Every structure is written in structure tokens, then in C-alpha cells.
Chain A
Amino acid sequence: MSDIGNWNEAANELDAIVASFDEGEVSVDDLFVKLERATLIIETLESRLDATKAKVDELAPRLAKVTEGE
């Protein structure tokens, strides 16, 4: 697993990168480094999300069975 920390830590870092772009603070020299880091974070988050969705898809029918009639 990549060293991006937990979801919130990774999301905070990603938000900070996006903010630095919004504020025009990124130099061309830093651009690739930041883009690479942001891509890594996004891909890792999406990968975690897919894994979580797969687990939820497995559990959801069982939970849905409990909620039948609602």
C-alpha cells in the first residue's frame, strides 16, 4: 500500500495540492512532482474505494435481507 496515510490524511494532502494549483503557487519545476503525487493519491484512494465497494457489495445483500419489509 502506498504511503499516503489514511483516507482523511490523503484527502487533506490532495486538497492542499489542488489548492496550491488554484492559488498559482506551483512552479513548472514542481508541477510534475505535484501532479505525480496527486495522481498517486487519487489512484490509491480509488483503489481503496473499489476494495471497499467490493466488500460492501458482498455485505449489502445480507444487510438488505435484514431490512426486507422496510
Chain B
Amino acid sequence: MSDEGLSNETVHEVGEFYQLLTAQLESAFGRRHPHWVRGEIAKVYEKSHMYVDLVDAGSTSSDSKRPVLNAHCWATQWAPLKRKLASEGVTLSPGVIVNFYGYVDVYAPQGKIGFTITQVDVQGLLGDVARRRQELIARLASEGLIDANKKVSISPVPLRVGLVASPGTEGYSDFTGQLLRSGYGFEIVLVKTAVQGEAAPQQIVAAVETLDRDGVDIICLVRGGGSKGDLAAFDDERVARAIAACSTAVFTGIGHTGDESVADLVAHTRAITPTKLGEEIAALVDSWHRRHVRLPAQKVLDATNELLDEATEYAAERRRTMIFAVRDRLRSEQRHLGAQRGQLLVHSRHLLSSTAQALASARQLLGAYDPSKRLAQGWSIVTTSDGGVVRSLDDVALGDSVRVLVSDGSFDSTVSEKNGAPS
């Protein structure tokens, strides 16, 4: 540039130059006239205000000529924006492609032309988050990690429960309350972690690895309900990979009904809430207890009662049977004796009757031989002096005195002659 030239041109002071530049920019863009700018976050820094370097998506840092937009969001606007992003589970981090709404400004003290952010395209970011989430799931699936932990066998009685949670939270209380109320002797091995925020994923990973080494029966990841942002740690790739690599079954109870984190997908078993997870674990133990303790005990009780009833009935039946058997036997003997007694009576009567008849016959026969009847007919009976009946001549001798009995008396006589009967 020549001296002549310099004398004809207006020379601006620095401040004046920046004023001119600002005026030109405002002339071109309008004063604080907002525009949408899309770019990939190259750097992000936050200290009350949020500062971000935005570059063209896909450009590389090795490209020394790539355009960089120094954007910033002042604290008054950043605070509510940050809360909104957090509630949706969105974090502005390097690599994220984002649409910023704002206006151009010039910051003379640092000689920077920048961009003041007034809005962030949350919907666009959500789409990006969802896309990256799907990409993560696809990646995990292609590596066989979705089902890896599901193949881990679990103890039939998972009483030693490793718990990854933040004590004092509702989710923690809901979960542990279920285990305590179950009445079973659960041992809870707690590893405290943050369950939201930037530090949470790494803490959760460390907790899972610690409990895996500890040899608990199962590991439970518990976190109550919250915004998507609150639950973002459970969509973290590091957490998902830690679960997949874990040799202990990992159970999750994260958020509310409808929330499904990547951790849920990778876990061995997923419950829809911490309360449900507690219920399901208690139900597992209860199921085992029922099959192996309560039902066998009931069978023993039933069998015992049945056996006792049978034995009681047997003894009672035998008692009745014996009473009837003995009574029957005695009655049988009584009947037999009675029959014999009757027969004996009949026989006796018959004997008496025939004896009486014989006696009568004898008596009749005897009557025929009654001496008085013979005497009345004229017959007489001669007896010797000693009373013997004279039946033959030989019974007397001549001169013997004999007595002659007749029907109305007797008289004495002397044997003077003996004459034999004519032959």
C-alpha cells in the first residue's frame, strides 16, 4: 500500500473498525436477527455460560482450514435450556450434530465473531439420540451381546443380591422394601453409585464388575422413575457392555412402565420398575420355597394325617370285629348247647314213656299171676313149717306138718301119704 493511497483512505481505530464491522454484519444479517445454524460439536465447555465450537458435520480436526463457529449461550438462557435438554436425556457433547438458533455477534475484546445461541433444536437432537441409541443396539446385537447375560444361569434361590443403586432414592427404597417384606433372608450387598449424571455410567460399570467378582447370586441395577435425561446413564454403551460381559445374571428395575433402557435390553431379566423387580426376585425365592419346602411339608402333613386316620380306623374296626366275632362264636355255642339240651329232653321223655309202658305191661302180667286170684278159684298154697312153698312131693316127708293157704284163710295139716301124679 502506498503512502498516497493511505492519505486518501479512511483509517479506522480498532474500536471504530469493530463498530463498522458490527454495523456491516447487522446490515447483512439484521441486528440480532436469528438464524438456524447446523453443525457438529467439536468442543464444548461450560462455566455458567456454555461455549461450543461448531464445525461442519463430518469435517476432521486435521483439516486446518475447516470453518469453526464459536457459539455460546449465556447463562440466563443456558440454564433453562440445559434443564430441558437434560429432561430429554440429551447432552451436548463432541460429535453431536445440532441445530442452534441465534444471531451473529462480534466480541471485540477477544477479536471474535461469534454466535449467540438462543434456542436448541431439541427434537432434532432427540432424533439424533434415538438414532445413536438404535445404532448402539444394532452394534450390541451384531456382537451377540444382547443375549450374552441372558445365557448366564442363576441360582435357584437368589438370596445374596448385589445391588447397584443410590441409597435414599425412591427406587432403592421400593426395591429393598419388597425384599424385606418378603420375609425371606435376603442379603443385600450394596455398591453405592450415582444413577444419573455424567459420572453415573462409569460408577455403574465399576459396581457391576465389583459385584461380579464378589460372587453374589444376582446383580440388580435399580433406579426409580425420572426424565429421559435422568435415565440416560442406563443407555450408555459402557454400562451395556459391562452387563453383557458380566458372569453374574444382571437384573434391572429402571424407571417407570414404558421406559426401556439399553441396559434393560442387555440384562438377564428386566422388570418394569424397582418395585416389580423386588417382587419378581422375592417370587423366585418363594417359588423355590414352595416347591422344595412348603409343598413337601404339606404332603408329609397330609400323609401323616391319612396314616393316623387309617390306623385309627383299623384299630376301631378290629375292636368291633373282635366283639362281634366273639359274640357270634358264643351264640353259636349257646345254640349248639340249646339244641343238644332239647334233644336230651326228647330222648329222656321217650325213655320214660317206654319205661312206663314196660312197667304197665309187667304190672298187667303180674296181675295174671296174683295168688289171691288163684286161691279164689279154689287153688291152695301149701307151705312147710319154715314157710317154703311145697312144689313137689320131695318138699315134704310123711308126718311133716304143713300149712294150707286158701282164699279166706289157712289150716294146718299133716302129711300122711304121698301119691305121685299119674303118668
- Of the candidates A39, A46, A56, A64, the one whose C-beta lies within 8 Å of that of B322 is A39
Q: Give Cα A7 to B43, complex, Å.
A: 91
Task: With CB as the reference atom, state the residue of chain B lying closest to A11.
Answer: B314
**Contact residues of A between 16 and 47, Cβ < 8 Å to B:** 17-18, 21-22, 24, 26, 28, 31, 35, 38-39, 42, 45-46
**B311 touches A (CB below 8 Å):** yes
Q: Interface 1/0s, chain B 306-327, versus A by CB < 8 A?
A: 0010011011001101100110
Say yes or no: A49 contacts B319, CB within 8 Å.
Answer: no
Complex formed: what's the CA distance from A36 to B311 in Å? 21
| B325 in contact with A21 (CB, 8 Å) | yes
Segment among B122-130, B146-154, B294-302 that sits at the interface with chain A: B294-302
Q: Is there a chain B Cβ closer than 8 Å to A2's Cβ?
A: no
Docked CA distance A68–B301 (Å): 12
Q: From residue 153 to 167 of chain B, which have CB atoms closer than 8 A to chain A?
A: none
> A24-B332, A60-B304, A66-B293 provided; 20 other pairs, C-beta below 8 A?
A14-B318, A17-B322, A18-B318, A22-B325, A24-B329, A26-B329, A28-B333, A31-B326, A31-B330, A35-B326, A38-B322, A45-B315, A46-B319, A49-B308, A49-B315, A56-B305, A63-B300, A66-B294, A67-B294, A68-B294
Top 5 nearest A-B pairs (CB, nearest first) are A21-B325, A66-B297, A67-B298, A38-B322, A67-B297
Give the docked Cα–Cα distance between A22 and B290 (Å).
49
Q: Which of A21, A69, A70 is within 8 Å of B329, CB to CB? A: A21
Pick the contact of B325 from A11, A18, A52 — CB < 8 Å? A18
A49 touches B322 (CB 8 A): no
- Please tell me the number of chain B residues within 8 Å of chain A, measured between CB atoms: 26
**Inter-subunit contact A52/B322 (CB<8 Å):** no
Main secondary structure of the interface of A (DSSP, over half): helix
Expressed in whole angstroms, the minimum distance between the Cβ of B339 and any Cβ of chain A is 15
Write out the residue numbers on chain B whose beta carbons fall within 8 Å of the beta carbon of A17.
Answer: 322
Q: How far is the CA of A11 from the CA of B330 in the complex (A)?
A: 24
B328 → A minimal CB distance (Å): 8
Query: What separation, in Å, do the CA atoms of A2 and B101 have in the docked complex?
Result: 104
Q: Which residues of A contact B319 (CB under 8 A)?
A: 42, 46
Q: Given B295, B301, B308, B311, which contacts A64 in the complex, CB threshold below 8 Å?
A: B301
B263-307 contact mask (Cβ, 8 Å, vs A): 1 or 0: 000000000000000000000000000100111011011001100
In the assembled complex, the Cα of A26 lies from the Cα of B325 at a distance in Å of: 10
CB 8 Å contact bits of B364-406 with A (1 = contact, 0 = none): 0000000000000000000000000000000000000000000
The count of residues in chain A whose C-beta lies closer than 8 Å to any C-beta of chain B is 30
Shortest A66–chain B CB gap in Å is 4
Q: With A and B bound together, what is the CA distance between A14 and B311 in angstroms?
A: 13
Inter-chain CA distance A67–B300, complex, in Å, is 10
B301 and A63: CB pair below 8 A?
A: yes
Contact A67 B301 (CB under 8 A): yes
CA distance A48 to B130 in the complex (A): 77
Contact A53 B294 (CB under 8 A): no
* CA distance in complex: A5, B271 (Å): 61
CA gap between A14 and B333 in the complex, in Å: 23
> Is A31's CB under 8 angstroms from B318's CB?
no
> Could you tell me which residues of chain B, from 95 to 135, have a CB within 8 Å of some CB in chain A?
none
Name the residue of chain B whose CB is nearest to the CB of A56: B304
Q: Is the CB of A42 within 8 A of B315?
A: yes
Q: List 9 A-B contacts (CB under 8 A).
A: A14-B318, A18-B321, A21-B325, A31-B330, A42-B322, A49-B311, A52-B308, A70-B294, A70-B295
Please measure, in the bound complex, the distance between the C-alpha atom of A68 and the C-alpha atom of B328, giving whole angstroms. Answer: 50
B312 near A49 (CB under 8 angstroms)? Answer: yes
Assess A18 versus B322: contact at CB under 8 Å? Given A42-B315, A60-B301: yes
Chain B: minimal CB distance from A42 (Å): 5
- Closest residue of B by beta carbon distance from A20: B325
**A48 CA to B315 CA, complexed, in Å:** 11
In the complex formed, the residue of B with least CB distance to A52 is B308
Query: Which residue, of B308, B315, B326, has the highest number of chain A Cβ atoms within 10 A?
Result: B315
| Closest-CB distance, B189 to chain A (whole angstroms) | 28
- Inside 8 A of A66's CB, which chain B residues have their CB? 293-294, 297
Determine how close the nearest CB of chain A comes to the CB of B22; give it in whole angstroms.
80
